[in-house]
Structure 1
Amino acid sequence: MSAARSSALTTALAVSLLTLACGDSGAGGAEAGLTEGTGTTGSGTTTGDDPPGDPPTTTGSDDDPGSGTHGQGMTTTTTGEPACDPNQLSLLERDYLGVGEDVKGETLPACSEHRWYVALPDESSWQIRLTRTDGPGPLRATVVWPDEPTALVWQAGLAPPLVSGEDPAEAIFAVPRSGEFAVHVRSDSPDDAADYNLEFVCVIGCERETTRFPIVLVHGWTGFEAIGPITYFYGVTADLESRGFPIEIAVLDPYNSSTVRSGQLAEQLDEFLVAQRARKVDLLGHSQGGIDSRAVVATHGYGDRVSALVTIASPHRGTYITDLALGLAPGGVEAALGFLLNFVGAVSAQQKSDAEASFYSLSEHYMQDEFNPTNPDDPRVQYISYTGRTCDAASFLIPGNGCHDLVDPLIGWGYALLQLARGDNDGLVTVESAKWGDYRGEMIADHIDEVGQLFGVTDLKFDHLEFYRELARDLFAEEH
């Protein structure tokens, strides 16, 4: 055989062997199901959805706290879908839980965290129990201030942390102040849904009471301590706080326009919300204090920070006495003005000027033509109203007329004027003018008795402290 022929045969044989080898390799890959781009997945491999050259998509992370794989060096099977980020869970606002209400069989969806609300009184302690009833991984719960930034919730717990795996978890929460708290629940395996129970049992101080939000008392004319050394709402603050209710007191100008006073109230509400670590307040205003409270909601935009607004004998449609005193209505200007200035105790020229600004804010002309059209009710706020009704000696002694309070001589002139011109009243404000929102009826009281003056002496049929206790209990029952 020639050398040339031998070389050609050798080359042909090498090419054949190479072709055979490549064919065998391709067949083996197909049988294993590992050919890239087929859409069939295997452990730690890419899928048909992954772009060529990119690393495989995995679920879980060695570095994510609370993922269920922290420190394990593990990842879950790839699916082409990104796993939920434990640091970016959806916060789901759940219900407010009243006394005796527990959470039973609640489902925590994947990639989410629950937030519940409870209201608990100070000087009490509660056992909190968390039980995971279904689903993988432990569940965690923590109690925090309701205004706690979401990013800090799991580092700012007010009670020992609860972690429920196979067994229930329990912790005792010593309540630091009366009012609302937030309870957060999340899973250590957030990629999967889980079911749980959440229970609250009082163990100490169970007789204590509270509202969900702090009650802010807003005074009317004469200022907070204008009647000698005594407080405006006589004994109310001490009585409610002794039972556990959270109370704040607004201190506004003794007499000024509602424009000025509502601005002062807005500044103080900001302070109260911070001091109480609260999201909202309940406003309780007597006389002009109720009008100031309406203005702080509508004019100053506090509807997102006020839950309920309760007015006591506030002249929502004005009071005719002020129109008369300012010459806005025909009649005895000097007598009406003298009566009002004497009532509020304004003696200096500046005080009289400020008092007249206050009178104008409560006139029928201003309230009906200016204030009400520009201060509509906020649908996020519940408006509640009460009024007093009184009568003179002659009416008081008439059987069957339904009047059980004898007017205080200090406002007897005002009662007689209003009764003749506008009808039933409390000595300064008519019953019809005081009705606003959810009107809940008459108090057996004149305008002074409504806040327990003077010195707590009221009609025998009217206990002003009990009235305010029941009012606070109603607010709690209605989740305010």
Structure 2
Amino acid sequence: MFMVLPTLALLHGFLGFSRRGPIECFRGVEHALRRVHIIPLIPEVPPSGTIVERAEALAQQLFSSNAPAFALVAHSMGGLDARHLIAYLDPDRRIKSLLTVATPHRGTPVATWVLESRGVIPAWVRHIGNPGLSELTPEARSAAPIPDRSDVVYSSYAGHRPLDEQPFWLRYFGRAIPAANDGMVPVESAQWGEFRGILRTDHIELLGWSLGLPNRRAIRPFDHLDFWTRAAVDAMAAAEGKPS
């Protein structure tokens, strides 16, 4: 029997983008995937939009193609967009798997801290980040749960760097989380579906933007190209119903 391979889509997070000129949010990942014969879609959704707005934009871009099946791999808020799309915007059930990476499924105290704090940096983040930022607090996520769909395979990774390994600017946010975190998202909040483990990386380093000095002891920089390639292969295998 002829099997149609699922189409892979990489989904960016809060304040993310697909490409700005030569700059890719997922740095070098598209090229790395093409080397293993995976041609990904990298949709762009409103960077600071609500989950509903972002999910609707995502659905429009994915389902305008004639691809019969999709495997989604999402960074950060992209995982919440994907879960909303799967639950409410996929009547033909074309989404088969979702792998989330550092997604704040249960929210993040960083969002609460930014919304409530004084100072130039929190004010600037509020200015560019709302209304989406308001949906990333633990309280908001608890008040608006997104149901899973039984025919979709859900899995997840979390990132974690101790505070002293985080870049100094990221530590500014990481201190707002009283638990293990990647500078933006608590490890516990990132766990959804089959939890595949904790990656020694910070939230931005996951995308290939290592803003700390190289450090062999801390395994910095994180090998993001290897990770996203493996994640893509695993997500596609899950979409086909194969063990990964």
Which of the five TM-score ranges fits, normalised by the shorter chain?
Answer: 0.7 to 0.9
1:462 equivalent to 2:222? Answer: yes
Contact 2:205–2:221 (8 Å) recurs in 1: no
- State the Cα distance separating 1:326 from its structure 2 match: 2.5
- Structure 1 SS opposite 2:2: strand
Letter in 2 for 1:385: S
Taking the TM superposition and a 5 Å limit, the aligned residue runs for 1:327-346 are: 327=116, 333-335=117-119, 338-339=121-122, 341-342=124-125
**Separation in structure 1 between the aligned mates of residue 90 and residue 123 of structure 2, nearest angstrom:** 32
**Separation in structure 2 between the aligned mates of residue 285 and residue 263 of structure 1, nearest angstrom:** 16
- Structure 2 SS opposite 1:249: coil
Higher strand share: 1
Q: 2:8 aligns with which of 185, 210, 215?
A: 215
Which stretch of the first structure deviates more once superposed, 356-365 or 300-309?
300-309
Contact 1:252–1:265 (8 Å) recurs in 2: yes
Q: 2:17 aligns with which of 224, 233, 240?
A: 224
CA distance 1:228–1:319, shift in 2 (3 Å): farther
- State the Cα distance separating 1:224 from its structure 2 match: 1.3
CA distance 1:229–1:477, shift in 2 (3 Å): closer
1:254 equivalent to 2:14? Answer: no
Higher helix share: 2
- State the Cα distance separating 1:455 from its structure 2 match: 8.6
Structure 2, unpaired ranges of 5+: none
- State the Cα distance separating 1:223 from its structure 2 match: 2.6
Matched with 1:318 is 107
- State the Cα distance separating 1:391 from its structure 2 match: 1.3
**Structure possessing the higher radius of gyration over alpha carbons:** 1
Taking the TM superposition and a 5 Å limit, the aligned residue runs for 1:4-403 are: 116-118=1-3, 180=4, 212-224=5-17, 229-271=22-64, 273-274=65-66, 278-302=67-91, 304-327=93-116, 333-335=117-119, 338-339=121-122, 341-342=124-125, 352=127, 355-370=129-144, 372=145, 375-393=146-164
Matched with 1:407 is 166
Contact 2:18–2:42 (8 Å) recurs in 1: no
- State the Cα distance separating 1:227 from its structure 2 match: 7.5
Letter in 2 for 1:241: R
**Separation in structure 1 between the aligned mates of residue 95 and residue 140 of structure 2, nearest angstrom:** 25
1:190-249 deviations in Å (ceiling 9; x for gaps)? xxxxxxxxxxxxxxxxxxxxxx31111110122315788410111001110122013101
1:413-453 deviations in Å (ceiling 9; x for gaps)? 111221xx3x0000000000000011101111000111111
Give the alignment's TM-score, normalised by structure 1.
Answer: 0.46
Which stretch of the first structure deviates more once superposed, 433-442 or 297-306?
297-306
**Separation in structure 1 between the aligned mates of residue 137 and residue 52 of structure 2, nearest angstrom:** 14
- State the Cα distance separating 1:369 from its structure 2 match: 1.3
Give the alignment's TM-score, normalised by structure 2.
Answer: 0.87
Identity rate of aligned residues, in percent?
Answer: 30
CA distance 1:454–1:225, shift in 2 (3 Å): farther
- Structure 1 SS opposite 2:222: coil
- State the Cα distance separating 1:270 from its structure 2 match: 1.0
Structure 1, unpaired ranges of 5+: 1-115, 119-179, 181-211, 328-332, 347-351, 394-405
Contact 1:266–1:300 (8 Å) recurs in 2: yes
